[in-house]
Amino acid sequence: MDNRIKGIISYRQVTSGGLLLTASNNINQYFPNLNFTASWLFIATWDKVPYYSNLQS
């Protein structure tokens, strides 16, 4: 991803609240033997960010 020309990349860290419970429940649904409890989340989003092409001539 390359946002030097256009696009927005944003992120946040969550350490409390309902998102932690939702994440824990989702992971435990698909991995029932794990007994996972999330203590923090890293949430990243991007909008109109073009693909990064590393083409060199």
Average pLDDT over residues 2-22: 89
pTM of the model: 0.67
CA dihedral 18, 16, 45, 3 (to 10 degrees): 170
Per-residue pLDDT tens over the stretch 13-38? 999 999 999 999 999 999 999 999 99
CA dihedral 18, 12, 54, 51 (to 10 degrees): 60
Q: What is the pLDDT of residue 10?
A: 94
Please give the Cα distance from 40 to 30 (Å, whole number): 19
Please give the Cα distance from 16 to 37 (Å, whole number): 12
Q: What is the pLDDT of residue 35?
A: 94
